[in-house]
Structure 1
């Protein structure tokens, strides 16, 4: 991890590994951190608002499938918020004080920590997006399998698995696979994007993990949307609770689109640079990194704005089709209270439906 073996930087003529490529000071005393300040402030504010809205929504919901989705969204918003707090604090501190990294961090511990944070908080939104796509795919295509075998605590466990995997990838450079280095203009650290040895391996791992997550999200979300359209338009369209399903899929699709637009340029750029052996283009790296940062700012607004309660305020005529469905099949509400197949083929309670007058009988299929 550290090229310097002496206890303090001034006593050693050796250059620590994280400063071996770009060594401060860089002479950017007049560099402004305005853009970083705006990004951090806007992102932190947005995620705090979304977190409050999510907590209130989770406390009110009685739908198991929706509670699963809210747990994943909560993990996503929490990750984005912490990422902006950690990395934003370091970057803004540099622009305000213009401290000398080599004097402050002679053994690269601080630089390694920031590099790990960049990797961890960068991968988490992509991996959580894939996890949410898997959860919705199971919830829409295999509703009974999910409802009978997956308690709410399982969703929390899946979020913890995602965090553990992202953390494991971030720790690889400390184990010798890749390395964290100071990056121009001297305000941040990131892994070394290079075609040499282990740096290439780690660059490919990072890019592949992100791109595979986006691909998984795209494939599973496409299948889920097609299934949902068939349910909505088919003969059994009245047998499913589609209001929350549609709302969740719209939000998930928007999260996927935002992640793809914001992260694909950076991930593809890293892969192309290391596989082609070309020198790193710093300006393009900074440009695509700012694109990726926009993901943490835009994610919370998907849930803040694209909720039924909000949309109905702007479009009073917008109504989900539950009322019309219930009028066609009025006994759904009564049977919904005790529906969802349980062990042994017996019906048991899963997700209560809203009260509607009942006269007939039919069997609902719940998500």
Structure 2
């Protein structure tokens, strides 16, 4: 296998799939499809209970984009394994490779951009609720998603106009932007812009998520301080607050860690390739690309797992029912608590 990665140019032109495990690609495809469908169903169930929100629109767009990615690229990989032919080998004009590279680049840009916008939406809704309620609406969500798709498409068509290049990677079942240090001039600038944009998205997303986690923790402490003298009532509110914290903190923490682990290696590989004097980088590049593809597969499960935890927790404790019996509003009265309650209806 190592010999297959030793020649960088060979990966670009090889026509036969010489190694690789199709079972891995099949499992990734199944996990992506099942995860996104389940997450969309759970999201739709919650939507029927309330009116759609900005958060709901953004998350739906993210899941639909991930699902589109699973159906647009994974079948091509499985076909290559089944036929024993690479993407270049299945199409003499390399159109299939260009399609795959375009799809991968578009999906990575649009998915990561939507994740970043979701992080910004959470930051504004938690940290600046008055600005959020006054200036942001569902229409802004639709416009933002449309602009992300349009911007990603415009960026991805540049290789067809001579800026950048879509090339095949070993074992011949992947095509993506050329990341080799052999890139010259405008091609190197193009891949540098791609990596720099991803780095900006990573940084902004992590900063927003950490800020939201900080705000949620601080609001939790304030609620505990306010109800310290009301033992019976606070016991039930503590149960409700715990479900809220699990609902918000758990996905934020997981998203932040997954986001860094899956996206930063690709950025690192691009910058390393700029200064590397070796051509035997295909193996490392492929690992970075695979990690990037894992991000879209993991995304829906980040939303599914907290939803399941929340349902189980509420079934066990049933805090809302107890509070109704006491004649209390299940939402705490401070600004932070009220905001979390509104998020619970999204």
1:193-251 deviation digits (Å, cap 9, x = unpaired): 12322232122122212221111011112222222222222379879x97758623432
CA offset at residue 313 of structure 1? 1.7
Closer, same or farther: CA 73–245 of 1 in aligned 2, 3 Å: farther
Closer, same or farther: CA 23–284 of 1 in aligned 2, 3 Å: same
Would you say the 8 A contact 2:17–2:81 is kept in 1? no
| TM-score with structure 2 setting the length | 0.78
Unaligned segments of structure 1, at least 5 residues? 1-18, 341-349, 355-366
CA offset at residue 319 of structure 1? 7.4
Corresponding residue SS for 1:186 = coil
Corresponding residue SS for 2:167 = strand
Would you say the 8 A contact 2:179–2:270 is kept in 1? yes
Residue 14 (structure 2) aligned to one of 24, 40, 43: 24
Task: Verify: 1:276 aligned to 2:280, yes or no.
Answer: no
User: In the alignment, what sits opposite 2:195?
Assistant: 207
User: In the alignment, what sits opposite 1:51?
Assistant: 40
Structural mapping, 1:165-184, within 5 Å: 165-184=151-170
CA offset at residue 302 of structure 1? 1.3
Unaligned segments of structure 2, at least 5 residues? 1-8, 228-239
Residue 72 (structure 1) aligned to one of 52, 55, 58: 58
**Counterparts of 2:15 and 2:344, CA distance in 1:** 63
Corresponding residue SS for 1:190 = strand
Would you say the 8 A contact 1:333–1:353 is kept in 2? no
CA offset at residue 132 of structure 1? 0.7
Corresponding residue SS for 1:137 = helix
CA offset at residue 171 of structure 1? 1.8
Larger relative contact order (C-alpha < 8 A, sep ≥ 6)?
Answer: 2
User: In the alignment, what sits opposite 1:310?
Assistant: 309
CA offset at residue 87 of structure 1? 1.0
Corresponding residue SS for 1:234 = helix
Segment drifting more, 87-96 vs 148-157: 148-157
User: In the alignment, what sits opposite 1:221?
Assistant: 209
Would you say the 8 A contact 2:247–2:310 is kept in 1? no
Larger radius of gyration: 1
Would you say the 8 A contact 1:114–1:189 is kept in 2? yes
Higher helix share: 2
Would you say the 8 A contact 2:88–2:97 is kept in 1? no
**Counterparts of 1:353 and 1:87, CA distance in 2:** 35
Structural mapping, 1:32-43, within 5 Å: 32-43=21-32
User: In the alignment, what sits opposite 2:232?
Assistant: none
Corresponding residue SS for 2:12 = coil
Corresponding residue SS for 1:177 = coil
**Counterparts of 1:174 and 1:182, CA distance in 2:** 15
1:89-125 deviation digits (Å, cap 9, x = unpaired): 1111111123465565333332211111111112222
User: In the alignment, what sits opposite 2:291?
Assistant: 291
User: In the alignment, what sits opposite 1:115?
Assistant: 101
Would you say the 8 A contact 2:98–2:166 is kept in 1? yes
User: In the alignment, what sits opposite 2:132?
Assistant: 146
CA offset at residue 156 of structure 1? 2.1
User: In the alignment, what sits opposite 1:106?
Assistant: 92
| TM-score with structure 1 setting the length | 0.74
User: In the alignment, what sits opposite 1:347?
Assistant: none
- Tell me the matched-pair count: 321
